[in-house]
A and B are shown apart, each in its own frame.
Chain A
């Protein structure tokens, strides 16, 4: 099947190096300490952060750093076919672990010993790149909660179909059977915190695809910075500064 037309247009009309439209909103769940909704094209996720708060399970308490916990769950209506089990299946457990490890690397846990930070991510619509959207939403939610971090964490995916590296795969392109590389970076520090790939890819192409995904991450980081600046201006305005 042709995923890139001879004119260089993908199935949804994008160019190979073009990301989907991103949209973010801070403070969607008012009960949470921090929350955000992040949309990448048709993929829409909401993240809520509760913490730092007292550790619920005493046996897991750490005396020198905060405990980070994460849960990823997909709504019944998020996929095309109705999903039976929202959470607890293997894929959700794996993605929860991936998000937790990625965020743990950038949160300054040593500043909040004996406490716990819960990150809950709920997928409302899944159209490829849910992992990346969840990490981006979690970053915004943590920033909204005022939790100290070393840097933002942004994530984007890229693939390789019809011998062309493609940025930000949607569900159809993802299920094509080609490789799907997910990259998460700390943009200011310029370090990679997450790198996952499935299917196979020639080694000489790998560097190109990872580089493309990293460019996507940097674009997301710029957008996130704008959103956070706008949010801070709103907060200043409300304080009467």
Chain B
């Protein structure tokens, strides 16, 4: 990205402190969000989310696997993000690896909870087929096609939309001879179970520029930030994960204030996102 001159930097900072950003938005207004579902036909579920010039695609693939020893009654989910070089020349070769792993880790902690699997936004026990033997492994892949700031929010929205679009095939288990044998499973091609996504949180990133914070920053605004905190909030208003980026320290009272702002903003975002996903699904069906 071309560097910003001093005049441009002051313009961005001044605009934010006066609640009028470069594209005319207020500090707590999101860019228009466009959601398309079913963009990758060979995946179990997929979605493409566009926020301004930020364009991300998420896909969900389900494969049968064995649950881990420690959690025999839960399925497994893994999230992997890739930053395409089409978004930034700097992502060529291994250049995008750092950002990709940062985004993957942030999304995993926001959506999947801790190591024990507790507190996950996705109900992992619904992925179990036979306890201790067979479960569904969900592989969630995200791709950043075009980047103009706020990647984490866009990816969170895309994953939520992709999971709403996901159909897990119905599995019929043949009763085996002995309990030690691998049971036979018959995976149906016709019937699908829709995933329950009402518990999945959305991610809201608050970017601090000067003394104010903004929501849904463009990459110009992100270049002026001192720090950013991403909150993952679910429909009940519970915080599911917090990630802080950026070097500048923040007063703890500011962080508590940001938490309440994030909760307030996330309500609007959840409603907006749900209606967009519903209309995308309806269009997909036609």
Q: Are A82 and B139 in contact (CB under 8 A)?
A: yes
Q: How far is the CA of A121 from the CA of B139 in the complex (A)?
A: 24
Residue in A closest to B59 when the chains form the complex, CB atoms: A77
Residue in B closest to A84 when the chains form the complex, CB atoms: B80
Q: Is B233 an interface residue (CB 8 A)?
A: no
Q: Are B86 and A46 in contact (CB under 8 A)?
A: yes
Q: Are A75 and B93 in contact (CB under 8 A)?
A: no
Cβ 8 A contact of A120, one of B43, B82, B85, B148: B85
Q: How far is the CB of B33 from chain A (nearest CB, A)?
A: 16
- Please report the total number of A residues contacting B with Cβ < 8 Å: 28
Q: How far is the CA of A35 from the CA of B145 in the complex (A)?
A: 11
A201 contact set on B, CB distance < 8 A: none
Residue-by-residue, is A6-38 near B (CB-CB < 8 Å gives 1, otherwise 0)? 000000000000000000000011111001000
Q: Are A48 and B40 in contact (CB under 8 A)?
A: no
Q: How far is the CA of A75 from the CA of B86 in the complex (A)?
A: 12
Q: Are A118 and B89 in contact (CB under 8 A)?
A: yes
B contact residues, range? 20 to 34
Q: Is B232 an interface residue (CB 8 A)?
A: no
Q: List 23 A-B contacts (CB under 8 A).
A: A28-B55, A28-B146, A29-B55, A29-B146, A30-B148, A31-B146, A71-B92, A73-B85, A75-B57, A75-B141, A75-B143, A76-B143, A77-B40, A77-B43, A77-B46, A77-B59, A82-B61, A82-B139, A86-B82, A88-B93, A120-B84, A122-B84, A122-B143
Interface residues of A (CB under 8 A from B): 28-32, 35, 42, 46-48, 50, 71, 73, 75-77, 79-80, 82, 86-88, 118, 120-122, 124-125
Interface residues of B (CB under 8 A from A): 40-43, 46, 53, 55, 57, 59, 61, 63, 80, 82, 84-89, 92-94, 139, 141, 143, 145-148
For the A-B complex with A30-B53, A75-B57 known, give 9 more contacts whose Cβ atoms are closer than 8 Å: A28-B145, A28-B146, A31-B87, A32-B146, A75-B84, A76-B141, A77-B42, A122-B84, A122-B143
